[in-house]
Chain A
């Protein structure tokens, strides 16, 4: 099935550092979503993007919908220990209900 290429697969950073991850696809999506998943929990929606070029923030998180509609990135500024988890991008094709997920970026923070 369709997949999104998400990178990096994992990140080990120091508390206070900024984080950047991205997703790319060969398909055009009309919605990009970023979710965070913690152990034993379901994915929690962080940011939703609906328009090419859109830049949206949620606290220390900022995400952008790429101009080509084939990519998106998520930045986390000044990371804190509770940012630890797995971050997933998800895309939704025009007229489709299902979400296509990236493989996830596992974020580990050293205090």
Chain B
């Protein structure tokens, strides 16, 4: 158990809909990262928040957005869903965000999203 929790574990929805994925980081961690894992693209970084502020952005679509709340939990919002958005979405957390390369990221169990 990494200490990172994600809900829900599974989500089935229809195209055009909007969903919210939730992540609680490990106790004491200030950074939250979101990754998407699909069969054809592998694990791809989406976005990072540090202490409530957006810190880095990766291959995140404009239809997707995220935020980190004062209690440090984070939500990833996916809207106007398409079939290709079906994937595993992982949240990871780390203590800081210095970019020094020593911020070990611990991953949650993921949310499996299926868009029908």
User: Which residues of the other chain, A, contact B102 by a CB distance below 8 angstroms?
Assistant: 31, 50
Contact B45 A42 (CB under 8 A): no
User: Which residues of the other chain, A, contact B42 by a CB distance below 8 angstroms?
Assistant: 3, 101-104
Q: Which of B40-79 contact A (CB under 8 A)?
A: 42-45, 48, 55-56, 58-59
Q: Which of B1-38 contact A (CB under 8 A)?
A: 2, 4, 31, 33, 35
Tell me the bound Cα distance from A99 to B108 in angstroms. Answer: 15
Q: Return the contact of B33 from the options A94, A98, A100 (Cβ within 8 A).
A: A98
Among B43, B59, B90, B107, the one with the most A-chain Cβ atoms within 10 Å of its Cβ is B43
Tell me the bound Cα distance from A100 to B31 in angstroms. Answer: 17
Q: Which of A85-111 contact B (CB under 8 A)?
A: 88, 90, 92, 94-104
* A30 interfacial by beta-carbon distance below 8 Å: yes
Q: Return the contact of B2 from the options A1, A30, A42, A103 (Cβ within 8 A).
A: A42
Given known pairs A42-B90, A44-B2, A101-B43, the reply for A95 and B106 (CB within 8 Å) is: no
Q: Mark B73-114, 1 if CB is under 8 A from A, else 0.
A: 000000000000000001010000101011111111110000
Contact B43 A43 (CB under 8 A): yes
Q: How large is the interface on B (under 10, 10 to 19, 20 to 34, 35 or more residues)?
A: 20 to 34
Contact B99 A95 (CB under 8 A): yes
> What is the number of residues of chain A that contact chain B, defined by CB distance less than 8 Å?
28
Q: Which of A21-60 contact B (CB under 8 A)?
A: 30-31, 33, 35, 40-45, 48, 50
Given known pairs A42-B2, A98-B45, A98-B48, the reply for A1 and B109 (CB within 8 Å) is: no
Contact A97 B31 (CB under 8 A): yes
Q: Return the contact of A94 from the options B35, B59, B92, B101 (Cβ within 8 A).
A: B101
User: Which residues of the other chain, A, contact B45 by a CB distance below 8 angstroms?
Assistant: 98-100
Q: A42-B4, A97-B55, A99-B35 are in contact. List 17 more A-B contacts (CB 8 A).
A: A1-B44, A1-B58, A1-B59, A31-B101, A31-B102, A41-B109, A42-B2, A45-B105, A45-B107, A50-B102, A94-B101, A96-B99, A97-B48, A97-B97, A98-B33, A99-B33, A103-B42
- Chain B positions within 8 Å of A, measured between CB atoms, are 2, 4, 31, 33, 35, 42-45, 48, 55-56, 58-59, 90, 92, 97, 99, 101-110
